[in-house]
Structure 1
Amino acid sequence: MSLKKKIGILGEKFSENLDFMLNVIKNLNFEPDSLILDIGTGRGKMAFILALSGFKIITGEPESHNWADWQTYARKINVFDKITFKNFQAENLPFEDSYFDAIFANGSFHHFSDKFKAFSEMIRIIKPKPYGKIVIFEFTEEGIEKIRKSYPGHPNATNPVEFMGDLSLNVTIKKGGLINAYIFDKK
């Protein structure tokens, strides 16, 4: 069964923006066993896509912020044993320097309390080139408005580029309608 069909089993919320996300990931050309951090587990969509793509995944949220039952969904598509969950804050990541091949944040960046500090931490724990990619999928204003139909108090959309400060990063932006992909790497 294809990755798209497996994700489709989980329902419409998991299928939204899937083609765009898969295309972005495919074009990054990561090695099959790359170690990837997913910041902001939520329902688990990003972790599932990455696990089904053959990557080793660590995902997490701040303690007591596990608002979604990602474990049930992971078992339903047989990826539970391919994902490691840890509690952590994006602003204080409990990992060694240069530990991950890539870091992903799907719809979570606008929830980080200190976005500048989170960027510094992500840069600290990614490997140097040619790996060392930070991929942030962030909602556009249109995407946030769609979310607000179900969750009226949802925070505003955020452009991650505004928070990279003086960090020496290259950025590529891929526009996807309701979400954009911001791909950062060290210069």
Structure 2
Amino acid sequence: MLGNILRTLKSGTEHLNYGRDIIAAMAQKHLKHGQDTARVLDIGFGSGADLLNIRQSIKGREVILYGVDGYEPHVQQGASKKINASLLDIESERLPFEDQFFDIVVANQVIEHTKDIFWIFSEISRVVKPGGCVIIGVPNLASLHCRVQLLIGKQPSCIEVLGPHVRGVTKESFERFVTADGYYRVIEQKGSNFYPFPPAIAKILSRLLPGFAVSLIIHIQRTEKSGKFIDILKTRFFETNFRTAEKTS
């Protein structure tokens, strides 16, 4: 009964989970003072909505769009949107780009689907420029509705066992992960959407209480530190076989 009520209340607000306006604003802020040409990569670019929003928000310079995705129809459709698209398994293959190639890398509502995030963030650390912008969007395991679900003994909806997500993320835990050994620094974290409130109220609450919002939008920056993020596994053992090298055929 409670689940049905909550689903009814949140209906029509789901689009806010993606925080697309926040992502475009973060990208615009990063590129406000920069070179004439900017390269932007979206990991798991899907429909290309985030890339297209970023290009539209950046005025007065050329923005070249790149995307990788594991779903072939998305890759096939990318060309019609002027996206340089590649089919890729991001958990086991190298990103097909040179070192320090991108000004901005986006991964929105992607990493919660993955186990090998050390590999993914290592490849990002390789292809983004020092000082470059990385924008991550994830469901928030500590959102208000997930806390209520746990309180009444229910599985948080953002990490259902019978579902696509394999990883839960909170603000503090993600910051500890991504800043490990100094390859990245966190610039800002914002919230997007706030169940079970209507859009106008949800926007206000997610801005005031990002730690309780449905989704987290996190702007991080690649530091000047040499090497790749995967090197942090050389000094840590997590009792699981995280990937440390590219899959070979």
| TM-score strictly above 0.5 | yes
Q: What's the secondary structure of 2:181's corresponding residue?
A: coil
**Structure of higher RCO (CA pairs closer than 8 Å, 6+ residues apart):** 2
Structure with more of its chain in helix, by fraction: 2
Q: 4+ runs of 1 displaced by more than 6 Å?
A: 146-149
1:182 is aligned to 218
- SS across alignment from 2:40: strand
TM-score (structure 1 length as normaliser): 0.70
2:164 is aligned with 1:154: yes
Question: CA 1:115–1:24 in structure 2 vs 1: closer, same or farther (change >3 Å)?
Answer: same
Quick one: distance in 2 between partners of 1:70 and 1:14? 24
Q: 1:171 aligns with which of 169, 182, 186?
A: 186
Are the counterparts in 2 of residues 97 and 124 from structure 1 also a CA contact under 8 Å? yes
Residue type matched to 1:181 in 2? I
Q: Deviations over 1:110-135 (max 9, x none)?
A: 22331111111111111123xx1111
Q: Does 1:52 align with 2:53?
A: no
Q: Which residue of 2 aligns with 1:4?
A: none
Question: Which residue of the partner structure matches residue 21 of structure 1?
Answer: 23
| Counterpart residue type for residue 107 of structure 1 | Q
Cα distance between partner residues in 1 of 2:89 and 2:177? 17
Structure 1 residues 53 and 183 mapped into 2: Cα distance closer, same or farther (>3 Å)?
same
Q: CA deviation at 1:107?
A: 0.8
* 2:138 alignment counterpart: 138
User: 2:122 and 2:83 mapped to 1: Cα distance?
Assistant: 25
Superposed, 1:1-187 pairs within 5 Å as 17-30=19-32, 31=34, 33-54=37-58, 55-62=63-70, 65-66=71-72, 71=77, 80-91=80-91, 92-129=94-131, 132-141=132-141, 142=143, 153-155=163-165, 156-159=167-170, 160-164=174-178, 165-176=180-191, 177-185=213-221, 186-187=223-224
Runs of at least 5 residues in structure 1 that lack an aligned partner in the other structure: 1-10
**Contact 1:44–1:70 (CA<8 Å) still a contact in 2?**
no
Instruction: Return the index of the structure with the highest Cα Rg.
Output: 2
Letter in 1 for 2:185: N
Contact 1:172 1:183 in 2 (8 A): yes
Stretches of structure 2 that go unaligned for 5 or more consecutive residues are: 1-11, 147-155, 192-212, 225-249
Structure 2 CA distance, aligned partners of 1:13 and 1:40?
A: 19
Structure-2 change in CA distance of 1:134 and 1:69 (3 Å): closer
Identity value in percent: 24
Deviation at 1:136, TM superposition (A): 0.9
